[in-house]
């Protein structure tokens, strides 16, 4: 009987301390955003999850995904309570660090991986003076109300053999607001005598802040008509 009691007591203790709270994307949590939290519960008991922001929800083995938000930056503690004989006992905790929402995103790479070897007219690039390779630069403009955000340096005579070619020498600061309203990226062949030749462009539609966060993880691959460009972004939080 004593041995049976010891086993039952061990299982009871195990049930208290085998629960978990997992915070999704915990390295990218910003004030005002939804924070997704998962609880891991291994028994049929009664539980409450306290998010540390004056809100709670009932949790169970079957109800294990929650979302909440933290309106201000700072450190928070989420706690999972098990209700035992009417008393709440802490069985799991998670520290949550909420950052200030950045005001800028930085374009850190514009990697040209492929471009059409000829113009839309069928002629070679820069053929006025015997050249066949474009002097590439790019511009970024706002979709809402127009206005140029940046015009990059010019990279002369970029041959196919030079690809992939990164066109960013130092990070380019773009206000988050502009990304949320949408921007347009265009590529050009610079010509100091005649009009610059248009190469290719893409409209980047209005992004939610969550979409912008995802861009910092995945980058953005643009492809059309023989052109292929990979954009990479970063918050560079020390510069925000």
Q: pLDDT tens across 34-79, in order?
A: 899 999 998 889 999 999 999 999 999 899 999 999 999 999 999 9
Q: Is the pLDDT of residue 138 over 60?
A: yes
Rounded to two decimals, the pTM is 0.74
Cβ proximity of 171 and 109 under 8 Å: no
Set out the domains of the chain in order of their start, with CATH numbers.
2-98 (2.60.40.10), 104-239 (2.60.40.150)
Q: What is the mean pLDDT of the chain?
A: 87
């Amino acid at each position: 009987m004593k041995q049976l009691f010891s086993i039952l007591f061990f299982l009871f203790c195990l049930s208290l301390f085998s629960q978990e709270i997992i915070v999704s994307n915990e390295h990218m949590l910003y004030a005002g955003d939804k924070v997704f939290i998962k609880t891991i519960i291994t028994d049929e008991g009664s539980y409450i999850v306290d998010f540390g922001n004056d809100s709670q929800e009932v949790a169970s083995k079957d109800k294990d995904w929650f979302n909440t938000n933290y309106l201000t930056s700072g450190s928070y503690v989420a706690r999972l309570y098990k209700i035992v004989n009417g008393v709440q006992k802490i069985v799991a905790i998670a520290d949550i660090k909420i950052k200030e929402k950045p005001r800028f995103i930085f374009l850190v790479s514009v990697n040209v991986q492929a471009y059409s070897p000829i113009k839309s007219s069928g002629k070679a690039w820069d053929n006025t003076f015997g050249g066949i390779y474009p002097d590439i630069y790019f511009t970024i403009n706002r979709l809402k109300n127009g206005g140029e955000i940046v015009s990059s340096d010019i990279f002369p005579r970029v041959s196919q053999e030079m690809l992939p070619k990164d066109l960013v020498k130092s990070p380019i600061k773009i206000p988050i607001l502009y990304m949320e309203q949408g921007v347009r990226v265009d590529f050009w062949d610079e010509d100091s005598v005649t009009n610059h030749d248009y190469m290719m462009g893409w409209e980047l539609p209005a992004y939610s802040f969550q979409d912008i966060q995802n861009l910092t993880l995945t980058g953005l691959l643009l492809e059309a008509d023989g052109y292929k460009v990979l954009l990479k972004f970063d918050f560079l939080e020390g510069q925000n």
